[in-house]
């Protein structure tokens, strides 16, 4: 498990202010990342359902200051066997 400096020392334990390995902060960051990952997967799955079988779905993900932007493009599938 990666180490993470405590960003909320007064909430997590004030006597450990500045500690390098905060399990609370690490868990909160992991939960937030999992939530974002789930939202991205749901959005991609919704686009896949709207994509015809003869088309490929391409996803471009861009990280912005406001969040993550997903751009979807569809192209014809090349000859499959």
Mean pLDDT throughout 39-45?
Answer: 93
Q: Which two structure tokens, joined as six digits, stand for 51?
A: 């994509």
pTM of the model: 0.69
- What confidence score (pLDDT) does residue 23 get? 83
Q: Write down the pLDDT at residue 59.
A: 92
10, 69, 2: which is closest to 30 by C-alpha?
A: 2
**Per-residue pLDDT at 80:** 58
For residue 56, which phi and psi values (nearest 5 degrees)?
Answer: -105, 140
């Amino acid at each position: 498990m990666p180490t993470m400096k405590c960003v909320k020392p007064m909430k997590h334990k004030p006597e450990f202010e500045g500690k390098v390995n905060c399990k609370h902060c690490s868990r909160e960051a992991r939960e937030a990342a999992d939530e974002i990952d789930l939202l991205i997967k749901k959005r991609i799955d919704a686009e896949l359902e709207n994509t015809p079988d003869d088309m490929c779905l391409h996803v471009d993900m861009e990280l912005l200051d406001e969040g993550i932007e997903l751009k979807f493009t569809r192209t014809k599938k090349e000859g499959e066997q």
